[in-house]
Amino acid sequence: MGALQGKTALVTGSGTGIGRAVAERFAREGARVVIADRDAGAAEATAGAIGETAHAAVMDISDEESVSSAFASLEAAGWAPDVVVANAGVQLFGQDAKAADLDLEVWNRTIGINLTGTFLTVKHAVRSMRSQGGGSIILTGSPTGLNGEGAEFTAYSASKAGIHGLARTVAAAYASDNIRVNTVVPAYTETTLVTTISSDPESRKAIVGRIPLGRAGTPHDVEGIMVFLASDDGAFATGSLFAVDGGMTML
């Protein structure tokens, strides 16, 4: 029996990358998994690869009506999640910049998706979980929200710092409702989100050189901690930040 047997988990941004890897692992651990993504094709493809224990849901996390409708539809269909991984986000390479050079539109778009979108996901997850007697919410953070790693990415770094603070605030507010909220911080992880870096040997060498374990992260590196936090083994963990970053934030 898997660690998540009997649970239903929703993972945002799970059409690709870290979200897809986590959703697939959750399914292998026995959970029913909602593949939530604004790209309907990617969501359907991931759900199809997992099989009958997966359900595709189109969700644009920056649009509250989209988020609200998705949660309502899932509840009506018997797929209300007791685990939610708020993972979806953007990093606007070539547009995000140091503060004095950052265009307001880029700031607003990044914050709107990463921070406001995470807030909306959490808001409706909490509403759903309160009626079910509790649950586990897991946010995807970043080293850029903890140290100077994101000096060239003001909007992205600020959005992730906001996510870290949001997790602690919501954890404190809803602990009495048996809702746990934690943040997982991956290292630089090679997915389609960071092809600008991974396709440039010098840029890649520079960032991997700042990881003490000496390699880039992969989506599979964060699966284990996500399973722990989603499972009953993590029942006493809330309001915490779990770095799975090869030592990147210890320096």
Task: Kindly state the DSSP code that residue 61 receives in the 8-state scheme.
Answer: T
Catalytic annotation present for 188: no
Could you read off the pLDDT of 92-120 as tens digits, one per residue? Answer: 999 999 999 999 999 999 999 999 999 99
Average pLDDT of the segment spanning 14-33: 96
Of the residues 107, 153, 156, 174, which is catalytic? Answer: 156
Band of pLDDT at residue 213, cut at 50, 70 and 90: confident
Query: What is the model's pLDDT at position 193?
Result: 62
Asked if 61 and 87 touch (Cβ cutoff 8 Å), the reply is no
Query: What is the model's pLDDT at position 88?
Result: 97
Query: What is the model's pLDDT at position 18?
Result: 93
Asked if 237 and 229 touch (Cβ cutoff 8 Å), the reply is yes
Query: What is the model's pLDDT at position 237?
Result: 98
CA separation for the pair 42, 151 (Å, rounded): 32
Query: What is the model's pLDDT at position 189?
Result: 78
Domain ranges of the chain: 8-243
Report percent pLDDT > 90 for the chain: 82
8-12 and 83-86 beta bridge pairing: parallel
Asked if 106 and 155 touch (Cβ cutoff 8 Å), the reply is yes
Could you read off the pLDDT of 115-172 as tens digits, one per residue? Answer: 999 999 999 999 999 999 999 999 999 999 998 888 999 999 999 999 999 999 999 9
Band of pLDDT at residue 194, cut at 50, 70 and 90: low
User: Which of the two residues, 230 and 203, has the higher pLDDT score?
Assistant: 230
CA separation for the pair 249, 173 (Å, rounded): 27
User: Which of the two residues, 50 and 201, has the higher pLDDT score?
Assistant: 50
**Cα 18 to chain centroid, rounded:** 8
Asked if 15 and 45 touch (Cβ cutoff 8 Å), the reply is yes
CA separation for the pair 226, 233 (Å, rounded): 11
Closest CA to 19 of 156, 215, 189: 189
Averaged confidence pLDDT in the chain: 93
CATH superfamily of 8-243: NAD(P)-binding Rossmann-like Domain (3.40.50.720)
CA separation for the pair 150, 147 (Å, rounded): 8
